[in-house]
């Protein structure tokens, strides 16, 4: 049985953000239509706050695939000259059970998470939103920017704030244009029209903002990508009608925004059970600040217009994205298909 | 990151039943000493009794490995000229989180399940047991025979019974000597002393017995390896002091022996939670024929003498083996280590 294997570089060569946005949007809808499903999340801490791993798994009927992603985080790898994060995705054919692909999961995770934050903004933010704020300057930040600039039509300014280290924001802004060109724009080189359109979208102003309060108060769309365990964003700082995509909270105990923000906001999630257990909502639910009734529904239901999202320009909207296996599976399937087409990647005999 | 990949043939070339018996015994003990653990079993039926899959996962501290095995069963593959069962194991280094191996799981599953049945007999059957019965003539039967002949000292006769199709028993007996030589004995060719010792152990009488009742009534050790969903073996047929290793029941609804046998037997399991949920015990527990108090403990506790097993020659003993990820992980780790040593197998850049 020949099985395709794609390492990080081979995955990169097979994906671009436009198609990833399409696929992630599609799989949210498939989930809402019960054409795809998740299996229970497995999470294990080898050493609390030092090393852990999780296994996310599920299936997509319409694509005839099922599979899983193992993500391991070993913070002490820093001292070993190794990456702190390892991710591996394993995919199977739902018609036969045969393995069809083994992929390094890092780039898919980056792309599908970027797409998720942007889809939250696309379907919940005010369409005329001009000011985007990214909170956090880690690996995810550039993916969020690329995806949101592509998904939205009127962004003029992107603020960056690292609430723990303002210098990181300055550093990030000094390199972001090169990163967008090298890592995201370059994947459209084959098509001049698309290339020029995305290039124009990437030509916005980037601002390193040391004060999180000031940055928040100026922003129409906020995307949080931090590992925070206490609220960073306060309700009193928010601009009227803001949208927040909360991406950082994907484990118990994580929290990025003040719980009371959730109380009066229109909240959508990627997966109900997972958001309740490990999402931004977790702590607000546990402390009773909100109840499950405060959750409007899953993002797929919103995209399909089965649920109503924003109805005016003054309400606050939230997308609580915990990251689901279906995003990984649909994007990995795309990467495998493209890699086969372009003859990229390795093959093993399993 | 270079990752070892072993297909079925490469796994075969890396393992022999003596070392697999040692490793499975060791990992049962590590589990009992809390040096290894299991994560929740994921099971999904795509179509009831037609196609399903499960993910078994866990970790072994002392070997610094964690990982998972995905086993998929698609019965309609029969008509597609494809195997009905696909298994893939994915292993990681517990010091860094890096992937270390991707293996076809079929041969490891066969070997570790054979070892499990034999270990049940080794620690629970009467040491002087001469008559072994294998119920079922499928893929597992030869593994059980090879392992039990190696693990026990006095077996003289091996009866085979396929309770649904007597002819299969005859066919099986006509080929078993060749299979034992080709698939199991050949792996000891490098060491004359071991080779001769195992060859002698394999020189027993093989008997195809069409009547299950007659076969059961003559046997000291019974190993069941069928997919049965109703009891095949009745209490009234049993010889005094018999040991039964129940290997077939690993999913809800499966059952191979009459529930009342369990009532008066000394029962050990491989994993308490899994045996209660999906093992031979499941139905007897649900119908109230036995309670959890009837379970003496886990096989690792017995091997470590933390629990008492057989105390006389007349009691009935049972090992309910559902198959745990730790068996797969320890044997897969062995296969990877040997493969590296012998320069067997493939390598991918992940």
Q: What is the residue-wise DSSP string for B217-241?
A: HT-SEEEE----SS--B-GGGPPTT
- Average pLDDT over chain A, rounded to whole? 96
A254 is a catalytic site residue: no
Query: Which pLDDT does position A89 carry in this prediction?
Result: 98
- Quick one: pLDDT band at residue B1, thresholds 50, 70, 90? confident
Q: Hey, are the CB atoms on A88 and B70 less than 8 Å from each other?
A: no
Chain position carrying tokens 């995509």: A245
For residue B237, what are its two tokens?
A: 């047929």
Query: Which pLDDT does position B253 carry in this prediction?
Result: 84
Q: What DSSP element (H or E) covers B268?
A: strand B266-269
Give B274-303 pLDDT, tens digit per residue: 999 989 999 999 999 999 999 999 999 999
Percent of chain A with pLDDT over 70: 100
Chain A residues whose beta carbon lies within 8 Å of the beta carbon of residue B1: 7, 86
Q: Does the CB of B166 have a partner CB in chain A at under 8 Å?
A: no
> In angstroms, how far is CA B300 from the centroid of its own chain?
15
pLDDT at B29 over 90: yes
Give dist(CA A289, CA A280) in Å, integer: 12
B266-269/B317-320 β-pairing: parallel
Chain position carrying tokens 């060569």: A13
Q: Hey, are the CB atoms on B42 and A46 less than 8 Å from each other?
A: no
Judge if ipTM > 0.95.
no
Cα distance between the two ends of chain A: 5
Cβ within 8 Å of A, B 88-127: 88, 90, 92, 94-99, 102, 104
pLDDT at A20 over 90: yes
For residues A108-131, average pLDDT: 98
Chain A residues whose beta carbon lies within 8 Å of the beta carbon of residue B90: 70, 88, 90
Do A84 and A78 meet the contact criterion of CB atoms below 8 Å apart?
A: yes
DSSP SS3 for A317: strand
For residue A65, what are its two tokens?
A: 């695939």
Report which of B301, B295, B264 is spatially closest to residue B279, judged by C-alpha positions.
B295
Fold of A117-320: Rossmann fold (3.40.50)
Query: Which pLDDT does position A49 carry in this prediction?
Result: 85
Q: Does the CB of B75 have a partner CB in chain A at under 8 Å?
A: no
Do B280 and B311 meet the contact criterion of CB atoms below 8 Å apart?
A: no
Of A94, A349, A350, the CB nearest to B88: A350
Give A255-295 pLDDT, tens digit per residue: 899 999 999 999 999 999 999 998 999 999 999 999 999 99
For residues A72-97, average pLDDT: 95
Chain A residues whose beta carbon lies within 8 Å of the beta carbon of residue B85: 97
Q: Hey, are the CB atoms on B7 and A349 less than 8 Å from each other?
A: yes
For residues B111-138, average pLDDT: 97
Query: Which pLDDT does position B175 carry in this prediction?
Result: 97
| B61 Cα to chain A: minimum distance (Å) | 10
Q: Does the CB of B153 have a partner CB in chain A at under 8 Å?
A: no
> In angstroms, how far is CA A233 from the centroid of its own chain?
19
pLDDT at A250 over 90: no
Q: Hey, are the CB atoms on B96 and A90 less than 8 Å from each other?
A: no
The residue from A4, A69, A266, A333 that is catalytic is A69
Chain A residues whose beta carbon lies within 8 Å of the beta carbon of residue B325: none
pLDDT at A254 over 90: no
Ordered strands of the A157-161 beta sheet: A205-208, A157-161, A131-135, A221-224, A243-246, A317-320, A266-269, A295-298
What is the 3 state secondary structure string of A220-260? CEEEECCCCCCCCECHHHCCCCCEEEECCCCCCCCCCECHH
- Quick one: pLDDT band at residue B252, thresholds 50, 70, 90? confident
Report which of A328, A71, A88 is spatially closest to residue B350, judged by C-alpha positions.
A88
pLDDT at A76 over 90: yes
> In angstroms, how far is CA A35 from the centroid of its own chain?
21
Angle (CA) A342 A343 A348, round 5°: 145
Count how many pairs of residues, chain A against chain B, have C-beta atoms within 8 Å.
Answer: 112
Chain A residues whose beta carbon lies within 8 Å of the beta carbon of residue B99: 86, 88
Chain B residues whose beta carbon lies within 8 Å of the beta carbon of residue A40: 40, 42
Q: Which of A8, A74, A94, A97 to substitute to test the interface with B, most B CBs within 10 Å? A: A97
Do A161 and A135 meet the contact criterion of CB atoms below 8 Å apart?
A: yes
Q: Hey, are the CB atoms on B102 and A102 less than 8 Å from each other?
A: yes
Chain B residues whose beta carbon lies within 8 Å of the beta carbon of residue A73: 97
Give B75-92 pLDDT, tens digit per residue: 999 999 999 999 999 999
Length of chain A in terms of residues written: 350
pLDDT at B250 over 90: no
Give A34-67 pLDDT, tens digit per residue: 999 999 999 999 999 899 999 999 999 999 999 9
Could you give the angle at which helices A140-151 and A106-124 cross, rounded to 10 degrees? 40
Query: Which pLDDT does position A148 carry in this prediction?
Result: 98
pLDDT at B229 over 90: no
Do A311 and A238 meet the contact criterion of CB atoms below 8 Å apart?
A: no
Residue A131: strand pairing partners: A157
Q: Hey, are the CB atoms on B348 and A350 less than 8 Å from each other?
A: no
Chain B residue closest in CA terms to A349: B7
Q: Does the CB of A13 have a partner CB in chain B at under 8 Å?
A: no
The residue from B12, B23, B69, B254 that is catalytic is B69
**What sections of chain A are H helices per DSSP?**
8-12, 17-32, 106-124, 140-151, 166-179, 192-202, 212-217, 259-263, 272-278, 281-286, 299-303, 325-342
Query: Which pLDDT does position A11 carry in this prediction?
Result: 98
Chain A residue closest in CA terms to B11: A350
Of B7, B82, B94, the CB nearest to A98: B82
Q: Does the CB of A59 have a partner CB in chain B at under 8 Å?
A: yes
Fold of B114-320: Rossmann fold (3.40.50)
- Quick one: pLDDT band at residue A252, thresholds 50, 70, 90? confident
Give B97-106 pLDDT, tens digit per residue: 999 999 999 9
Q: Does the CB of A57 have a partner CB in chain B at under 8 Å?
A: yes
Secondary structure E strands in A33-154? 36-38, 42-47, 51-60, 65-74, 85-93, 99-104, 131-135
Percent of chain B with pLDDT over 70: 100
Chain A residues whose beta carbon lies within 8 Å of the beta carbon of residue B68: 55, 68, 70
Query: Which pLDDT does position A313 carry in this prediction?
Result: 97
CATH architecture of A2-108+325-349: 2-Layer Sandwich (3.30)
Q: Hey, are the CB atoms on A82 and B88 less than 8 Å from each other?
A: no
What are the sequence ranges of the domains in chain B? 2-108+325-349, 114-320
pLDDT at A227 over 90: no
pLDDT at B50 over 90: yes
Q: B239: buried, middle or exposed (CB in 10 Å: 19+, 13-18, 0-12)?
A: middle
Q: Sign of torsion, CA B277 B283 B286 B291? A: negative
Q: Hey, are the CB atoms on A40 and B39 less than 8 Å from each other?
A: no
Chain A residue closest in CA terms to B9: A350
For residues A89-118, average pLDDT: 97
Of B66, B85, B350, the CB nearest to A88: B350
Query: Which pLDDT does position A2 carry in this prediction?
Result: 94
Give A286-337 pLDDT, tens digit per residue: 999 999 999 999 999 999 999 999 999 999 999 999 999 999 999 999 999 9
Of B5, B73, B95, the CB nearest to A97: B73
For residue B81, what are its two tokens?
A: 């000229």
């Amino acid at each position: 049985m020949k099985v395709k294997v794609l390492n990080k570089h081979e995955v990169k060569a097979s994906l671009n953000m436009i198609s990833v946005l399409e696929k992630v949007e599609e799989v949210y809808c498939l989930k809402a239509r019960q054409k795809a499903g998740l299996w229970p999340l497995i999470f294990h801490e080898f050493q609390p706050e030092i090393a852990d791993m999780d296994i996310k798994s599920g299936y997509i009927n319409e694509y005839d695939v099922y599979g899983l992603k193992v993500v391991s985080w070993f913070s002490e790898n820093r001292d070993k000259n190794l990456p702190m994060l390892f991710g591996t995705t394993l995919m199977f054919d739902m018609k036969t059970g045969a393995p069809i692909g083994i992929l390094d999961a890092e780039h898919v995770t980056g792309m599908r998470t970027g797409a998720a934050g942007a889809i939250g903004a696309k379907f919940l933010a005010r369409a005329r939103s001009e000011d985007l704020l990214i909170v956090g300057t880690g690996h995810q930040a550039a993916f969020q920017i690329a995806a949101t600039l592509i998904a939205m039509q009127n962004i003029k300014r992107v603020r960056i704030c690292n609430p723990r280290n303002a210098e990181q924001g300055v550093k990030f802004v000094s390199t972001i244009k090169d990163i967008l060109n090298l890592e995201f724009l370059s994947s459209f080189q084959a098509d001049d029209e698309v290339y020029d359109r995305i290039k124009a979208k990437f030509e916005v102003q980037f601002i390193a903002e040391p004060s999180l309060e000031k940055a928040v108060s100026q922003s129409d769309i906020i995307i949080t990508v931090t590992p925070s365990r206490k609220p960073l964003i306060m309700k009193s700082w928010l601009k009227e009608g803001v949208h927040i995509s909360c991406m950082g909270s994907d484990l118990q105990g994580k929290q990025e925004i003040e719980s009371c923000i959730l109380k009066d906001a229109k909240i959508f999630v990627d997966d109900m059970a997972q958001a309740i257990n490990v999402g931004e909502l977790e702590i607000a639910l546990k402390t009773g600040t909100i109840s499950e009734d405060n959750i409007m529904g899953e993002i797929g239901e919103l995209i399909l217009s089965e649920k109503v999202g924003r109805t005016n320009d003054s309400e606050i909207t939230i997308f609580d994205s915990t990251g689901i296996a279906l995003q990984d599976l649909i994007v990995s399937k795309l990467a495998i298909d493209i890699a086969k087409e372009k003859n990229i990647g390795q093959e093993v005999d399993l």
